[in-house]
Structure 1
Amino acid sequence: MPVVSEVVIVGAGFGGLAAAKELAKSGERVTIVDRHNYHTFQPLLYQVATAGLNAADVAYAVRGIFQGQSNVSFRQAEVTGVDWVRSTLELDDGELPFDHLIVAAGATAAYFGIEGAAENGFPLYVLSDAITLRNHILSRFEAADADAALIDDGALCFVVVGGGPTGVEVAGALSELFVVLRKDFPDLDPSGARIVLVEMADTLLQPFSAASQRHARARLVDMGVDVRTNDAVMRVTPNRVELRSGTELDAHTLVWAAGVRANPLADALAVPTGRSGRIVVGADLRIDGHTNAFAIGDVAAITGADGQLLPMVAQVAIQSGRHAAREIAGARHRPFRYRDKGTMATIGRRAAVAELPLHVRLSGTPAWMA
């Protein structure tokens, strides 16, 4: 009989689940470890934050996903470290031995040392972030409705930092939410509510084509969003945002969509890390110096065919997760090859930009439906 190995996967995100599903078919014994007992569909967190979806719409119980898979189990725990000599994962509630380890711990918000950003900004990376932001947005409208003077103080000014897909999607969704809230708060002056999107580069959606960038900007402007490129946040207080241009915005809300870094767990594992704290891996995704351990997705510094680091997106996580699982099942030491299936950004209802393989570019309703 073939030897069955114990595989531990740290993280129940896109990459971790993809690896577990692939390994489930091989007969290996798999344990998924995560501090949350649910998987979050991160691309739709902005919809939860802007009241377009409920939390239950984007969160799925990990145990339920693998119901009926007798060789896959789940353990809710916090990873604190690893004993590489003993091949044992250290948890806040004990230990977990492994024959193979897959680190799929994801990423967290990166604030780049900007004063007050971490303390006063609202990130949007986990489910609790989205719920907190949604409640805060609604509370600002309630406060302004009770005391109109708060509008001049910035209660209804919402600053979104970062002009990538997340920032564009948040700004567009906020604009649509405002249409609904104006009906719920008829006594509020609608001109007092504003959305400011700040991007330090000269265009939005840097990975996209110039045509898609122009379309996204024009659509946001049509929706009432104040788009400010070539500018950056320098300081954040609870009621004010200071920009590099010298502009000071009275605002009670700053949504941080300006970048992420690898989960700090990478540091706790005592392995080599590179830019943005991402774990250094070889071509086959094995962690440098550890033949029985892999890092995948956002937490890993995975190099593409052009020699550049692959983006921290779901498709990279899914494909790298499957690759690591196949390496464990077959031990082939084959290099990982990423296949770009395209990318998109939703700007609003029936409005989006999408760029697909073979230079296919869509905008407006066709992109939204893609």
Structure 2
Amino acid sequence: MRWIILILFLVLLEFYSYQALSNLTKNRWIIIAYALFTLVAIGMIAYGFLSFDRSVGQNKTLMMAIALVLLLYMPKLVITIFLFVEDAARLIIGVCNYFVSAAQIEGEFLPERRKFVTQVALGVAAIPFLSIIHGIAVGRYKFRVIKQTVFFDDLPEAFDGFTFTHISDIHCGSFDDKEKIQHAIDVINDQESDLLLFTGDLVNSLANEMDPWLATFQGIREHKYGKFSVLGNHDYGEYVEWDTAAQKENNFKEIKDLHPKMGFSLLLNEKMWIEKEGQRIAIVGVENWGVKFKKVGDLNKATSGVAAEDFKILLSHDPSHWDAEVVSHPKNVQLMLAGHTHGAQFGIEIPGIIKWSPIQYVYKQWAGLYKTAGRYLYVNRGFGYHAYPGRVGIWPEITVFELKRRKN
């Protein structure tokens, strides 16, 4: 039934898109070219999905198929909405004319489709079409640095002005441009932060995805107070099919081993203390814990030996962990860092005016800083990309925090 509904929906999109084109032009060659383009695109989409190998996971062919789905059908969806609404209006006008002045009706029951509406529909549809192209060509590597200053009453005085860089969701298996990634690494190094923190999803699924990129990420400079990391849901190899449990476990071990090769201290439900001028704060890292994803994070274990009054930065990949467990935890986590959502890699952000992404209907906290009872959650928009090989309006992020002690 789901397949039938999907096919009928796609037929509806094609019907209205053809209606728009034929209403705009009667040129036979333009219509033929449009039909050929559509058939070729559908063929490439079908090949991308049908050739998907679950033992390998996401590859470039599948990502291109997903890109073509968006490129082909998002504009057609816009066109369909416009023309469907116009058809509803035409039907209402036709019915009113029939009953009010039936004797005067001549010709067609429905009023003629207005060319102006078609032109507006095509103009609006061009926005997602061009945005998706920009997202693939430019947006996925449009790294931006976000500066974030956060104030705390209980921050140890020695850490007033302490800085750290936060990255998340590398997804190295999606990359295809070493020059752009090297630029991003250079940007990270240029921040000259005291500490570097990474909140998971190093790969899409397989450890060998990092092989072409390991040397590049080893170029992240040493930070005075270290580099710490945790795992994300994609780091457990659960989105591919394995012949044996031993293969899956070996892949997981290799992914964990990548972290020290990159100079990261991987925190697996544990903590590390950062000391400065005789005072200290705890860097707490849990394995993945998500309401709708793998739940292996153990916050109780990770905070063992940490007092409620100690200052803590928690690394937890999935922001749903915050409301589900962290914000009410007796150990009083002052700041949690997460990622996972990517901001859906699609949305609109104009500071102070609008912040929207479809992911907000799934995650309450999906990008940026959130405050609850004097404590903070920050959700990073992600360093890399996954599935759709692009970003529209939600750019890849490198975040630089400055911790400040609030003056009484």
Q: TM-score, normalised by structure 1?
A: 0.30
Of Structure 1 and Structure 2, the greater helix share is in 2
Of Structure 1 and Structure 2, the greater strand share is in 1
Q: TM-score, normalised by structure 2?
A: 0.28
